């Protein structure tokens, strides 16, 4: 992992220590404003297609678009690029709005839909037909592919390319009114079949598609292609900087051509590198497959890299925004180490998450010399990083649970936790010593650890100075609350799940151990009232959040957000030493 030093990683490592790093898009906007372009206006947009849930890659685009607008006193629109009725759904629109809002961005009253521009786009198409720049073509998809040529060979003109304006207008009108079957005719731009850029070889602008659209219903029988709709939608909205990912670089000359031919407001398209993350996939198509085939429980499964998934996992919007700022904006594609995202999360949770005690794999401890019916309320600090978070009381009594892992009947060398004859400190409480064990008659396994405590060693008391090598967490059996805890690991076993020999399905790299369910954990009573979605540090174990979808008072359910081990901090320290 540490060896994967991509361009973004080395840039971001430097960035992580500085304040907001500048980047080439910010520089372009600054320069445009200095030169008085667009009267100094900055107007961006985030343009999702509502065909799936947003993922962490989209968060990069959201932070960039909304962030630049805010920084320069401009505006950012939320525009749904909904020109493909067959894959789009209202549930996706709703989830996208929820996710953008949750990330902390506000589009005001500027919630737009490319489908709202249908009539305007149709008029633009008529304008191009009338100026002899577009024609109706009867080639089917296969024929069109044949005529298109290849990267090394020019294409051939369609036999329908020289239709008269009147004939084109008539046919296009009839396409609109639904006279022709799906796929039978297209409207194409008349550009150049010999262009080295295949996107300019008379690209399709409209296709016949008699599908019901989630907003316009059955009103339209033709739909514009993304390439025809996108740039014109930006223009209609007065966008100044149309920021998109690299795959659209080769389409830019086509967008420019449309805008120039139509002679309308011309936004400047700027491409940046899309975010890739290790141990996951960032493609709506693939994420949809994981959901449909049941590899995960849904779009918001806490293992998913979707915004809904990582939110349910316990990520905070601050951590994600901070991550997006730190990774910067580069021109070249690269892969960011997921450990860096996790590092940003830990940094945020370290400050805000109260620290509590929970025992995930419990074993009973009986303190023989502690009075049977006594309970003490011990003071515990909620977060040493932030004294304003105060303290709470933790009940202590004669019978406790500790982690099975914190006891060994036969301790290996260097094991300082509880073992026969050995002492440990119980966090916020006393030093205890193991004086024996009780074993299950049938299995021979240790079922109970017998201890004594030293009343002179109460935490915080003036006589508590005696030191032992280990401090462990615990809960009181009589007071603890039962909970289910779900431990998550990376969704894929490989850093790059797509790195496969030909013909092998990427899903083979799914991690069969990405979810472990611990049904019988015990947490301190303080957590009984915890709100859904709230996050805690379980001392020594990691960060956990109350599951926002399924947890209830009757059945408390926690997701492990992240462990405490910060591999990225180690990488960072290592690189500073060099
Ligand atoms: P996917 O490849 O996941 O299906 P997409 O590009 O088809 O994504 P859109 O809904 O078209 O999804 O994306 C909306 C915006 O988000 C676009 O401007 C797109 O460039 C940007 N975007 C999508 N994926 C990423 C990514 N991984 N990193 C940065 N920006 C992204
Ligand atoms: Mg797209």
The CATH number of whichever domain residue 514 belongs to comes to 2.40.240.10
Q: Name the residue of 44, 57, 251, 280 to mutate for ligand 1: max ligand atoms within 8 A of Cβ.
A: 57
Strands 556-562 vs 481-488: parallel, antiparallel or unpaired: parallel
What's the CA gap between 308 and 302, in Å, rounded? 8
Whether 302 maps to a domain, the answer reads no
Which residues, in sequence order, are bridge partners of residue 471? 425
Distance 239 CA to ligand 2 centre (A): 18
Angle formed at CA 178 by CA 175 and CA 182, multiple of 5 degrees: 80
Percent helix, strand and coil across the chain, each rounded to 5? 35, 25, 40
Whole-Å CA distances, 260 to 38, 124, 264, 266, 533: 17, 12, 7, 8, 50
Among 225, 251, 285, residue at a domain's last position: 225
Distance 93 CA to ligand 2 centre (A): 15
Q: Nearest Cα to 460, choosing from 367, 364, 376? A: 376
Which residues, in sequence order, are bridge partners of residue 112? 79
Q: N- to C-terminal Cα distance for the chain?
A: 17
- Any ligand 1 atom below 6 A from CB of 57: yes
Whether 400 maps to a domain, the answer reads yes
Distance 249 CA to ligand 2 centre (A): 13
Which pLDDT score is estimated for 186? 98
Instruction: Identify the nearest ligand to the CA of 57 by its number.
Output: 1
What's the CA gap between 188 and 203, in Å, rounded? 5
Q: Nearest Cα to 486, choosing from 319, 278, 301? A: 301
Residue with tokens 């850093």: 495
Among 225, 250, 282, residue at a domain's last position: 225
- Any ligand 1 atom below 6 A from CB of 282: yes
Q: Name the residue of 45, 61, 270 to mutate for ligand 1: max ligand atoms within 8 A of Cβ.
A: 61
Distance 284 CA to ligand 1 centre (A): 8
Q: Name the residue of 44, 48, 78, 276 to mutate for ligand 1: max ligand atoms within 8 A of Cβ.
A: 48
Distance 283 CA to ligand 2 centre (A): 9
Q: Contact, 568 vs 343, CB < 8 A?
A: yes
How far is it between the farthest Cα atoms of the chain?
102
Protein residue with its CA nearest to atom 3 in ligand 1: 283
Q: Nearest Cα to 265, choosing from 25, 41, 35? A: 41
Q: Contact, 412 vs 422, CB < 8 A?
A: no
What's the CA gap between 342 and 319, in Å, rounded? 9
Q: Contact, 475 vs 528, CB < 8 A?
A: no
- CATH assignment at residue 164: 3.90.800.10
Distance 49 CA to ligand 2 centre (A): 6
Whether 332 maps to a domain, the answer reads no
- Any ligand 1 atom below 6 A from CB of 305: no
Among 159, 191, 225, residue at a domain's last position: 225
- Any ligand 1 atom below 6 A from CB of 251: no
Protein residue with its CA nearest to atom 18 in ligand 1: 244
Residue with tokens 């409209």: 206
Give catalytic residue positions: 49, 274, 284
Whether 264 maps to a domain, the answer reads no
Distance 78 CA to ligand 1 centre (A): 14
Residue with tokens 């540490």: 2
**Residue 256 CA, distance from chain mean position:** 32
Q: Contact, 524 vs 449, CB < 8 A?
A: no
Q: Are residues 374 and 515 in the same domain?
A: yes
- Any ligand 1 atom below 6 A from CB of 28: no
Q: Contact, 520 vs 454, CB < 8 A?
A: no
- Any ligand 1 atom below 6 A from CB of 49: yes
What's the CA gap between 158 and 146, in Å, rounded? 10
Protein residue with its CA nearest to atom 9 in ligand 1: 48
What's the CA gap between 416 and 471, in Å, rounded? 9
Protein residue with its CA nearest to atom 2 in ligand 1: 283
Which pLDDT score is estimated for 569? 75
Q: Are residues 220 and 361 in the same domain?
A: no
Question: Which stretches of the chain drop beneath a pLDDT of 50?
Answer: 1-18, 578
Protein residue with its CA nearest to atom 10 in ligand 1: 48
Which pLDDT score is estimated for 2? 35
Whether 154 maps to a domain, the answer reads yes
Strands 535-538 vs 446-454: parallel, antiparallel or unpaired: unpaired
Protein residue with its CA nearest to atom 22 in ligand 1: 58
| 312: three-class secondary structure by DSSP | helix
Instruction: Identify the nearest ligand to the CA of 50 by its number.
Output: 1
Neighbours of 22 (CB within 10 A): 12
Q: Contact, 100 vs 46, CB < 8 A?
A: yes
Neighbours of 181 (CB within 10 A): 9
Total tally of structural domains belonging to the chain: 2
Neighbours of 455 (CB within 10 A): 12
Q: Nearest Cα to 369, choosing from 428, 446, 445, 431? A: 431
User: pTM score, two decimals?
Assistant: 0.92
Q: Nearest Cα to 93, choosing from 74, 107, 104? A: 107
Whether 10 maps to a domain, the answer reads no
Which pLDDT score is estimated for 20? 59
Which pLDDT score is estimated for 575? 64
Structural domain harbouring 170: 112-225
Distance 79 CA to ligand 1 centre (A): 13
Whether 405 maps to a domain, the answer reads yes
Protein residue with its CA nearest to atom 25 in ligand 1: 57
Neighbours of 470 (CB within 10 A): 13
Q: Are residues 220 and 360 in the same domain?
A: no
What's the CA gap between 227 and 204, in Å, rounded? 8
Q: Contact, 341 vs 564, CB < 8 A?
A: no
User: What are the DSSP E strand ranges found in 324-405?
Assistant: 334-336, 355-356, 358-359, 362-367, 376-381, 391-396, 399-403
Backbone angles phi, psi at 12, to 5 degrees: -75, -30
Strands 362-367 vs 399-403: parallel, antiparallel or unpaired: antiparallel
| 489-498 residue pLDDT tens | 999 999 999 9
- Any ligand 1 atom below 6 A from CB of 244: yes
Protein residue with its CA nearest to atom 14 in ligand 1: 48
- Any ligand 1 atom below 6 A from CB of 74: no
What's the CA gap between 441 and 447, in Å, rounded? 9
Whether 284 maps to a domain, the answer reads no
């Amino acid at each position: 992992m540490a060896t994967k030093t991509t361009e973004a990683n080395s840039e971001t490592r430097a960035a992580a220590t500085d304040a907001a790093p500048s980047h080439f898009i910010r520089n372009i906007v600054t320069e445009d404003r200095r030169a008085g372009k667009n009267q100094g206006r900055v107007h961006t947009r985030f343009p999702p297609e509502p065909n799936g849930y947003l993922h962490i890659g989209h968060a990069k685009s959201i932070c960039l678009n909304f962030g630049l607008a805010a920084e320069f006193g401009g505006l950012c629109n939320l525009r749904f690029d909904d020109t493909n009725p067959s894959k789009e759904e209202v549930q996706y629109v709703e989830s996208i709005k929820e996710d953008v809002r949750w990330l902390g961005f506000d589009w005001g009253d500027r919630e737009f839909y490319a489908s709202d521009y249908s009539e305007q786009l149709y008029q633009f198409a008529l304008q191009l037909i009338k100026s002899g720049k577009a024609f109706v073509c009867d080639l089917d998809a296969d024929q069109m592919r044949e005529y298109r040529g290849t990267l090394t060979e020019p294409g051939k003109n369609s036999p329908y390319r020289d239709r008269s304006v009147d004939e084109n207008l008539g046919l296009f009108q009839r396409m609109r009114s639904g006279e022709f079957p799906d796929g039978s005719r297209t409207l194409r731009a008349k550009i150049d079949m010999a262009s080295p850029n295949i996107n300019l070889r008379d690209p399709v602008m409209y296709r016949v598609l008699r599908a019901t659209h989630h907003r316009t219903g059955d009103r339209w029988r033709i739909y514009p292609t993304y390439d025809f709709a996108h740039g014109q939608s930006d223009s209609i909205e007065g966008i100044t900087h149309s920021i998109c990912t690299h795959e659209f670089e080769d389409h830019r000359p086509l967008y420019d051509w449309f805008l120039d031919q139509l002679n309308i407001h011309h936004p400047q398209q700027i491409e940046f590198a899309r975010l890739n993350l290790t141990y996951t996939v960032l493609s709506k198509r693939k994420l949809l497959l994981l959901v449909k085939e049941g590899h995960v429980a849904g779009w918001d499964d806490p293992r998913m890299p979707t915004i809904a998934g990582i939110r349910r996992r316990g990520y905070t919007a601050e951590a994600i925004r901070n991550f997006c700022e730190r990774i910067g904006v580069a021109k070249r594609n690269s892969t960011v180490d997921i450990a860096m995202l996790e590092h940003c999360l830990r940094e945020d949770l370290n400050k805000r998450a109260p620290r509590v005690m929970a025992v995930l794999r419990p074993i009973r401890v009986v303190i023989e010399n502690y009075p049977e019916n006594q309970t003490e309320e011990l003071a515990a600090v909620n977060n040493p990083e932030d004294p304003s978070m105060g303290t709470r009381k933790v009940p202590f009594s004669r019978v406790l649970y500790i982690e099975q892992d914190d006891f060994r009947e036969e301790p290996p060398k260097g094991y300082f936790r509880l073992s026969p004859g050995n002492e440990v400190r119980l966090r916020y409480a006393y030093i205890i010593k193991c004086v024996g064990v009780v074993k299950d008659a049938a299995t021979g396994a240790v079922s109970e650890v017998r201890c004594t405590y030293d009343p002179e060693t109460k935490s915080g008391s003036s006589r508590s100075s005696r030191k032992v090598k280990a401090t462990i967490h615990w809960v009181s059996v009589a007071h603890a609350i039962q909970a289910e805890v779900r431990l998550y690991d990376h969704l894929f076993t490989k850093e790059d799940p797509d790195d496969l020999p030909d013909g092998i399905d990427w899903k083979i790299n799914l991690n069969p151990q990405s979810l472990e369910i611990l049904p019988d954990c015990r947490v301190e009573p303080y957590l009984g009232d915890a709100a859904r979605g709230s996050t805690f540090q379980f001392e020594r174990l990691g960060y956990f959040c109350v599951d926002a979808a399924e947890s209830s008072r009757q059945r408390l359910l926690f997701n492990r957000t992240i462990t405490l081990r910060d591999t990225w901090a180690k990488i960072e320290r290592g690189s500073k030493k060099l």
